[in-house]
Structure 1
Amino acid sequence: MWFPSYFTLFLLHYCVVGEEKHPSVIIVGAGASGIAAATKLLENSFTNITILEAEDRIGGRIHSVKFAEGLVDLGAEHCYGRKENAVYELAKDYDVLEEFDFSFENNIYCSDGSKLNSSISQDLNKIIFELFEKKYEGNETSKSTGDVFKERFNSSILPKYEGDKKNVQILKEALKFSDGQISLFNGASSWSDVSAKTDIITNNDAFVWKGVGFKTIINILMKSYPDSKNKLDIDDKIHLKKKVQKISWDQNQSVSVLTADNTTYTADYVIFTPSAGVLKKHQDTLFEPKLPSEKKNAIENTGYGSITKLFVTYSTKWWKDDDKLFSFFWTGEDTNLVNFGEGLTKKKMSWITQIRELIKVHHNPNVWSVWISGHKLSEIENLPDETLKNGVNYAVKKFLGETRNVTDVTKILKSTWTIDENFLGGTSYVKTGAYKSDESIQDKLAEPVTNAAGKARLLFAGEATHSTLYASVQGAIESGHREAKRIIEFYVKSKQ
């Protein structure tokens, strides 16, 4: 009888040592960065992981849902670039991506129903995409994207049309159009908010998902795609509807996390991945003790905004086969609230003047996405669906009704990132005046917080913490991998 008892003691000892071998980790948020961190830890045999997610689903700002005859992406939708792109590298071998040209050159329509002069369209497209790719080599760090656009516009475009009264009048409206496009690209309220100087890496190549939705990247990370039999042992580690209320991080040996249902979780490390919007609103109540001043300054100096997307269906096809994208150029008299009076207005301008683009949804017949940027997105997202449908009908017919027999929207689905308390927006950017050549706001945001014993127990991930790939899923994934590797390195050093 002595042998089984000895063997049992041996197994118990082995299991305890095994548990102590790797630290415990709580990951707050099951978006791209949280799942990336968890899967990287699991792949390195760190299995004592708990993932706390406030929503009733995983994915975070990746949210692919069924709509009409296929999927639509309410959040992250497009994959940009082959290089420096974790999303592309993970997905490239599975035939789930296809290239798409997002240039609006020669696809800009005016609100009087005409198509914008092709020469002006090309000129605007050139400058806007130069700034989208952050091609500003000047040393002035206080300039906004709007400042630099106006400089290039005044020096390279206006002189070409001097004396051309018709086009000079149109060019007066071009600044408003360009502001809308740049605010759309950056998720900001205005181009004045966005720094012209950043360290971001951008790529010309753009890809859309071939009917499978951006959620596929989450499945690839978890190794459940393409074969679910290979899925990592992660499901039982994810706890949904667990909104975090308090993180106590200055304890000597551990960090404790309190959720809204009054459950307390304790671990050696916490990786915090929610949005910069959540950090901005809740930093003073979420962390105990409050975060150091350097971290608070980084949070406050991080730009954070959103766009709103509407997905609409039509019972009858009114577009041509090669129609993929329309950009809307609102002229002065049409920005006033004249014929459309439903919903929000600002300075006599209807919310529909913030509709920037209409884009065909790939692999989903009869579905288009309507892209909205600018001010008061939370009010727009709170508008009734019927008002939104009427607004889209009015705008699309106004711009395209002269050349196409536009029919009415039959169904509509809207994103609500701005008003969702678990996100409070969609994407980060570098605020005007916040850029420093020797000190990245994103790097400051990414720095772990050390407790009184000098131990880094509270770590930060998410797209806003990546200095060169912020505002992207690839940035979010890389940040999750970064923090997982940090914990692994801490462990290796502790054993040396």
Structure 2
Amino acid sequence: MSSCSGPEDAKVVIIGSGFAGLAAASALVKGGFKNVLVLEAKDRVGGRVNTTKPFTENIIEVGANWIHGQKGNPLFKMAKEKNLLSEGPSASINMCLPRSVSSRDYFFKEDGKPVPEKIVDQVSSRFSKLTDKAFDDKLSPKHKDLTLGAYLDDAFGASPLAATEDGQQVFEWCKRTECTDEACSSLYEVSASQISNYTALEGGFFNTLGPGGYRAILDVLLKDVPSEAIKCSAPVKSIRWDLAKEGQRYPVQVVCENGQSFEADHVIVTVSLGVLKEQATSLFEPGLPQNKLNAIKNLGFGVVDKIFLYFEKSFWPDNCAGVQMVWKEGPENKDVNKALSEGDAWKKTWFKKITGFDTVARHPTALCGWITGREALYMEKLQDSEIGDTCLRLLRSFTGWSVPAVSKMLISRWGSDSHVRGSYTFVPDGVDGVAAHKALASPLPPKDKSRGKRQLQVLFAGEATHVNFYTTTHGAYLTGIREAERLINYYTN
């Protein structure tokens, strides 16, 4: 039991105000904790959720976009109860993943010719069945030890579709879109067997929020947390723990970059895996246990960026949900997917990682391009004007349509953001994902009866700490609830 008499006396500092941090804060306040403080490095709450209005009075989601799945999803339940979901299919951004291809997606080859719809349907359907096998843990023994890319190549190669030029080109497009789903540079760095640990909840995978966007769900959580309990623009420099053995009254001290320090009985760290990769060895004093450092190092944390193009008038057909770009098959195109080539030649063709441009919810004259991996990180260093010119060139050359100049642009740069350093987690080939997620989630100090009152000083939450729901907002939310309940139980049991 803590030296505090109860939760009303315990000081808890939460680092990060994304879904994990706000879920933890909300649950603790409702659980009777009176001294809860949230420190946020950015000048806004939300973390990788960033709902903004750059073009019109309607929102754009720069970060998290959908609620993935319905059954058992606490965010879907919350959004439905509060009437925060959109109505009708027209209100969603398409993000044309292979499993969601429809007749409203216009596929074009590099030479400007359309790809036959029949080929697109056949290949994307075959691709989805192959990826479903991996997610459902139904891989054959010969495929279990392969990377996701190698497995897909081998399995698709057995199909007659692989013998056709169009079929192979659409297959390569499918692999690029899957890179966006996995937040990786290449499917050849992702474990084929480990992704079966990810659990896809039943119900629509892309549940779109209404006009309030994801910010509306954050606001539901914020209602439970006193406004004075959240400090923005307060990046943390160090977390000193196990101070009780030095005779200090509180076992943890959090020091911000501006020199402010806060004493605490417990600290919940919800920063991204990207931040941990960059700062783990300097952020904690004493240093983290080796198993936790290994987990931080071994798990993957990729970059997924969006390129929003706003036009004065739309130039695409009314029934068009997006323009998808299918590149010629060949060594150069293979490099786009493998992303394993040495040197800098790939930087000249970074734009080949853009899978296409999809229509945008509530913005009839806007398109959104998706790009991932090292190409996305490279793009982030370029000027908006160069990125915009490149996107216009692609749209014009692939479609042959009369594409006007861009009126406004908004480009995410999650990899360059020092407070995030990426988008979401994936499990690389050769890594035991379950063990890594669990190690990342384990509290400090390690469980030891001899420590007595010094338990649960530093706790960890965030999507990267969830074994089955990593990459998702509901995963982040649930880990925040998990750590809050850990503390609540600590004081009540």
Normalised-by-shorter TM-score class: 0.7 to 0.9
**Greater Rg by CA:** 1
Contact 2:162 2:168 in 1 (8 A): no
Partner residue, 2:489: 489
**Cα separation, 1, equivalents of 2:34 and 2:215:** 24
Q: What is the match of residue 241 of structure 2?
A: 249
2:289 to 287, 292, 298: 292
Distance 1:394 1:334 in 2: 22
**2: CA distance between counterparts of 1:147 and 1:345?**
24
Amino acid at match of 1:445: L
AA matched with 1:183:
C
1:232–1:379 Cα change, 3 Å: same
Shift of 1:332: 4.3
Shift of 1:302: 1.1
Q: CA deviation at 1:297?
A: 1.2
How far did 1:95 drift?
A: 3.0
Could you tell which deviates more after superposition, 315-324 or 408-417?
315-324
CA apart distance, 1:334: 12
Which residue does the alignment assign to 1:184? 180
- Work out which of the residue numbers 35, 39, 42 in structure 2 matches 1:52: 39
User: Does structure 2 retain, via aligned residues, the 8 Å contact 1:327–1:358?
Assistant: yes
Q: Which residue of 2 aligns with 1:142?
A: 145
Moved more, 181-190 or 372-381: 372-381
Q: Quick check: 245-254 or 38-47, which moved more?
A: 245-254
SS at match of 1:365: strand
Q: Distance in 2 between matches of 1:242 and 1:118?
A: 52
Tell me, in whole angstroms, the C-alpha distance in 1 between the residues paired with 2:83 and 2:331: 44
Q: What CA RMSD, in Å, does the superposition of the two structures yield over aligned residues? A: 2.5
1:193-342 paired onto structure 2 within 5 Å: 193-197=189-193, 198=195, 199-203=197-201, 205=204, 206-222=206-222, 231-252=223-244, 253-332=250-329
1:131 and 1:250 map into 2 onto residues whose CA distance is 49
Name the residue aligned to 1:124: 123
2:214 maps to amino acid: F
Go from structure 1 to structure 2 and tell me whether the alpha carbon gap of 1:82 and 1:260 turns closer, same or farther (over 3 Å shift).
same
User: Larger deviation: 198-207 or 24-33?
Assistant: 198-207
* Among 41, 45, 64, the residue aligned to 2:28: 41
Q: Which residue of 1 aligns with 2:112?
A: 113
Q: Paired residue for 2:398?
A: 399
Deviations 1:237-264 (A, max 9, x none): 0011111111012222521111101111
Q: One-letter code of the match for 1:446?
A: A
2:82 is matched with 94
Provide the C-alpha distance between the structure 1 equivalents of 2:130 and 2:427, rounded to a whole number of angstroms. Answer: 13
What residue identity is the alignment partner of 1:266?
E
The answer to whether 1:441 aligns with 2:433 is no
Q: What is the count of residue pairs matched by the alignment?
A: 452
* Uncovered stretches (5+) of structure 2, i.e. residues with no partner: 245-249, 334-342
| Structure 2 CA distance for aligned equivalents of residues 128 and 79 of structure 1 | 23
Q: Shift in Å at residue 143 of structure 1? A: 2.2
Counterpart CA distance in 2 for 1:51 and 1:131 is: 43
Determine if contact 1:132/1:182 at 8 Å carries over to the other structure.
no
Look up the match of 1:72. 60
**Does the Cα contact within 8 Å between 1:68 and 1:367 map onto a contact in 2?**
no
The aligned counterpart of 1:371 is 370
Matched, 1:410 2:404: no
Cα displacement string for residues 55-103 of structure 1 (whole angstroms, at most 9, x for unaligned residues): 0000000001112122111100112211232210110123332355651
Task: State the alpha-carbon separation in 2 of the partners of residues 479 and 361 from structure 1.
Answer: 30
Shift of 1:21: 4.1
- Secondary structure of the residue that 1:409 maps to in structure 2? coil
Superposition TM-score, scaled by structure 1 size: 0.85
Contact 1:195 1:435 in 2 (8 A): no
Q: In structure 2, the residue corresponding to 1:113 is in which secondary structure?
A: coil
How far the C-alpha of 1:300 sits from its partner, in A, is 1.2
Distance 2:381 2:329 in 1: 27
Comparing 128-137 and 175-184, the one that deviates more: 128-137
Distance verdict in 2 for CA 1:120–1:136, change over 3 Å: farther
Amino acid at match of 1:36: A
Q: Distance in 2 between matches of 1:190 and 1:33?
A: 28
- Name the CA distance, whole Å, in 1 between partners of 2:70 and 2:7: 40
Q: Classify the secondary structure of the residue corresponding to 1:274.
A: coil
Q: Separation in 1 of the partners of 2:123 and 2:429?
A: 22
8 A Cα contact 2:303 2:377, kept in partner = no
Q: In 2 relative to 1, CA 466–19 (structure 1 residues): closer, same or farther, beyond 3 Å? A: closer
What CA distance in whole angstroms lies between the structure 2 residues aligned with 1:248 and 1:17?
19
- Percent identity, please: 28
- CA distance in 2 between partners of 1:49 and 1:489 (Å): 16
Task: Name which of structure 1's ranges 472-481 and 344-353 shifts more when overlaid on structure 2.
Answer: 344-353
Question: In 1, distance between residues paired with 2:146 and 2:34?
Answer: 47
| Counterpart-to-counterpart distance in 1, 2:162 and 2:36 | 63
1:198-233 per-position Cα deviation (integer Å, ceiling 9, x unaligned)? 3111256122222222111101222xxxxxxxx324
Cα shift at 1:441: 2.0
